[in-house]
Chain A
Amino acid sequence: MGWIDTAWPMVGATSLTLGIIYLLIWLRQRSQYGYLWFFVTAASVAVFSLFELRMMRAAAPDDYAVTLRWAHVPVFVLFLSIVGFIRLYFRTGRLWLGYAACGLRAVSLVLNFRTGVNINFEQVTAMTAVPAWGGESVHLPVGVPNPYAIVAQLSNLLLIAFVTEASIALWRRGDASARRRAAVVGGSMFLCLVAASALAILLNRGLVRIPTAVSVAFLGVVVAMAYELGWGVLAAAGLSARLRVSEDRLRESEHRLELAASAGELGLWEWSVAADEIWTTREGRALFGYDAHERVDLKRFLSSIHPDDRAAVEQDVRAALSKGGSDFEQDFRIVLPDGRLRWVSSRGRIDRDESGAATLMRGVTHDVTGRRQAEERFRTLVEAAPSAMLVVDTEGMITLANARAVTMFGYARQELLGRPVEMLIPGRVRSTHEAHRQAYREEWRPRAMGSGRELFAVRKDGTELPVEVGLNPMQTFEGRFVLASVVDVTERKRSELETARQRDEMAHLARVAMLGELSGSLAHELNQPLAAILSNAQAAQRFLAREPPELARVTEILADIVKSDKRAGEVITRLRSLLKKEEPQHRPLDMNELVQEVLALMRSDLLNRQIGVRTQLAPRLPAVSGDRVQLQQVLLNLLINGCDAMSGRVAQGDVIVRSESAAGRGVRISVSDNGGGIPPADLERIFEPFVTTKAQGLGLGLAVCRSIVRSHNGRLWAANNAGGGATLTVELPAADRLLPSI
């Protein structure tokens, strides 16, 4: 056996092996018909190579003629597969050229069987042995050419034209891989087809005497195709590897997104507009109350929305879908299957095709019921608050006003919102308010506005009302605000005035009653100057009656009478001022002076009762702002109480009146007795009205004293002394602390 007997089957086997490889690939990827066409091409070449070997070994002319005739069958299949491969693989090529090539080849196949011994020969007359390389020899035919061979040759030309045109078109299309394909596949096909056609003509006409190597040329085509397909397989493998990585990544990021979504209770959704199908995550379905496998479309989605919100949501969706529409963003309520309401916030983004039509809308929905409820609650609370509530931004603009604010100030809500809060402040303090507001931005803590000052607000009609204002800073994600709650204190002021009036009335009654107790003593105080006047006058009469009258003495006496008369007048004035019912007038007072005045009033009572009073008065006391009469009343009451506690006791001491300045607290006056003291349980009770330890007495004295002291912003309390007896102490703020702070 020579090398030709080895080489030609090897050509066939190689071709077939390559074909089978791609057949197996095609079986896995049925959509890739290029592989199938390649297999057919390779198989045809393999079969043709066997025919070719048999032709070279044919000893008889008939044998050769028949073999050649049948060899045209795989050639025809080869034609079909090449055209099919090029069309599929290049996606170019003029179809009519391909059809024409195949059609003409089909005609030549028919002629092959109908005319001569085959399409190449009219008749094969003899076989000649021709030597080849390596001491081999092959048989070549000698005969009459078939005139119809021109048809087969034309079909060859058409196929070459088809391949050439397809390759050029592919080359022109541009990218690097296409050009490579055009060059390698198209180029090698062109060369091999030209070579095969030329070889066939030359051999048939007997112009060359070499072995029939058409199949070897075709093998070149097959190898070029396999090489190119190998590229495709490699690229696909690379692509699929990359795809796998990116799929993994995608899956991972999807997983992450879902995890985040479920952690944040976010429902992700995607709406294919054309298919009208809404896909949502598990959380999304739970959020809307959809069943796990229920098909959700726009209609189903809209039906889950609260009827009041449905129209607005639908409108927004439509608006988002329309050309040039923006993203979808809406808060709305959904009604769950069990009837509960849920507030959700939904955002969506539109994907559009080239024409701008919406294809896909995807987004996220989350539950904001809690936030909405909190907002609702806040709004309801603010709205229902009995005081006027204003939320003011850092620029001093009103951003929220409740119903009470509307009624309190007489403005409609729209007239308040977005306007400066200073519109509610009386003109005379408006500018200072702005300064205060600036200062508060530094301070930034809850407090009452303008402590110690009387605050007024102004209504729309210009009338003013007394108010109290509490300020609360609020830090929100929208910035800083101040919540001001304004209380109309008109009523309270009125009732405070009424209370004060009643207290003064009560104080007056108690004073009159107390002076009744002191009447004997007071009568004596009046009696003294009257007695002096009478005696002086009668003495004067006598001196005048003398001969000569002692006028010098009389002058002296008259001066004394005037003095005593004035003294009597003072007693009466003092008495009248205590008895008179007058509005309390607050003036700066020296408490030491008051102590002395009260002691003067009580002088004869003290003498009569044999009770000594010692005073320990601190010099240079700060002044106290108060009503002289009312504070005298307090001191009188405390002194009388002290004396009452002492009278009837054998071991007598003195009542001690002390004054001192209480560090930082103003002035303290204390009255200490040496009596029986106060049972500890009664130390507070004695200040209640109608509680008394005395046989006679209404028990109003100390109650009135305390109310007077309180109306002076002071304190009054009782304590027992270590050495027996009790001390009652009045503490009054120093006057300078009561000066109005502006």
Chain B
Amino acid sequence: MRPTIYLVDDDPDVLVATQRLLVSAGMTVAAFQSARTFLEHYDTATPGCLVLDLAMPEVTGPELQRTLAQRDAPLPIVFLTGRGDIRACAQAMKDGAVDFLAKPADDADLLNAVNHALAKAAVLQRERTTRSRTESALARLTVREHQVLVHVVAGRLNKQIAADLGTGEKTVKYHRGNLMRKLGVRSVAQLVRLVQHAGVGAPGADN
């Protein structure tokens, strides 16, 4: 799926010009004059990045950045601003912006930043795919398999798990085989990494 460059700037002249520049570089661009119209149209499934103006009426650039972070959108942000001060820049970077460009920005700088953002978006997109796949695999585990998974990730032996769960070692072994197949891993190390990545399997399950 081709990534989309989202543009948000309240100044129509700047918006159109920036859009043209990106189009001339062969990119797919969606331009919006306000944060609100952007949010109305944005789909997190679409890969891409956001070139965002800092100062805008109603919803500002940093506000939009926070909103997207809350929604966990895989949308790296390049700030493009006419009057960025250092404070605003530092805050934006801290909040995960890819780059912070001052207007007028040279095409090379802008395209560079956009490409960076797109690369990051690709990574994010991949991670997001992996995670969603893991999540769906995890969702397919039975309750017993899930219990076994938590114990395996915690590093316990089959015998210990069987004792803990009050069942036979064989049964544990059977569940373990099933869950590793369902999650598509061949080693415990692989399993651990996957679970860590997915952020699941917090040991609170024993309670």
Contacts and interface: CB of A to CB of B under 8 A. Distances in A.
B17 A531 contact: yes
Interface string A680-712: 000000000000000000000000000000000
A560 B57 contact: no
A429 to B, nearest CB: 58
Interface string B22-47: 01110000000000000000000000
B104 A527 contact: yes
B108 to A, nearest CB: 9
Given A563-B13, A567-B13, A539 B82 contact: no
B88 to A, nearest CB: 9
Contact of A530 (B20, B21, B57, B104): B104
Contact of B24 (A523, A530, A539): A539
A717 interface: no
B23 A531 contact: no
B17 A527 contact: no
Interface in A515-550: 520-521, 523-524, 527-536, 538-543
Interface in B42-90: 55-57, 60, 82-83
B83 A535 contact: no
Interface residues of B, number: 24
Contact of B107 (A538, A567, A607): A538
B17 A539 contact: yes
A535 B55 contact: no
Contact of B11 (A528, A534, A536): A528
B14 interface: yes
A557 B55 contact: no
B21 A535 contact: yes
Residue of A524, A527, A532, A567 contacting most chain B CB atoms (<10 Å)? A532
Contacts of B125: none
B105 interface: yes
Contacts of B103: 527-528, 530-531
B18 interface: yes
A657 to B, nearest CB: 16
Interface residues of A, number: 31
A741 interface: no
Given A528-B11, A535-B104, A536-B21, 5 more contacts: A527-B104, A528-B103, A531-B17, A535-B105, A542-B21
Contact of A564 (B13, B18, B20, B106): B13
A560 B82 contact: no
A608 interface: yes
B16 interface: yes
A612 interface: yes
> Mostly helix, strand, loop or mixed at chain A's interface?
helix
Given A539-B24, A553-B20, A560-B17, A534 B104 contact: yes
A610 interface: yes
Given A527-B103, A528-B103, A607-B57, A535 B82 contact: no
A598 B34 CA distance: 23
Given A527-B103, A527-B104, A528-B11, A539 B20 contact: yes
Contact of A535 (B18, B56, B57): B18
A485 B60 CA distance: 68
B15 to A, nearest CB: 9
B83 A538 contact: no
B20 A528 contact: no
Contacts of B106: 534, 538
Contacts of B10: 607
Interface string A488-525: 00000000000000000000000000000000110110
B21 A528 contact: no
Contact of B16 (A520, A532, A534, A610): A532
A564 B104 CA distance: 13
A555 B17 CA distance: 13
Interface in B99-115: 103-107, 110
B62 to A, nearest CB: 11
Contacts of A553: 20, 24
B3 to A, nearest CB: 19
Contact of B57 (A539, A543, A612): A612
Nearest to A528: B11
Contacts of B83: 520-521, 523-524, 527, 604, 608
Contacts of B14: 528, 531-532, 535
A429 B47 CA distance: 84
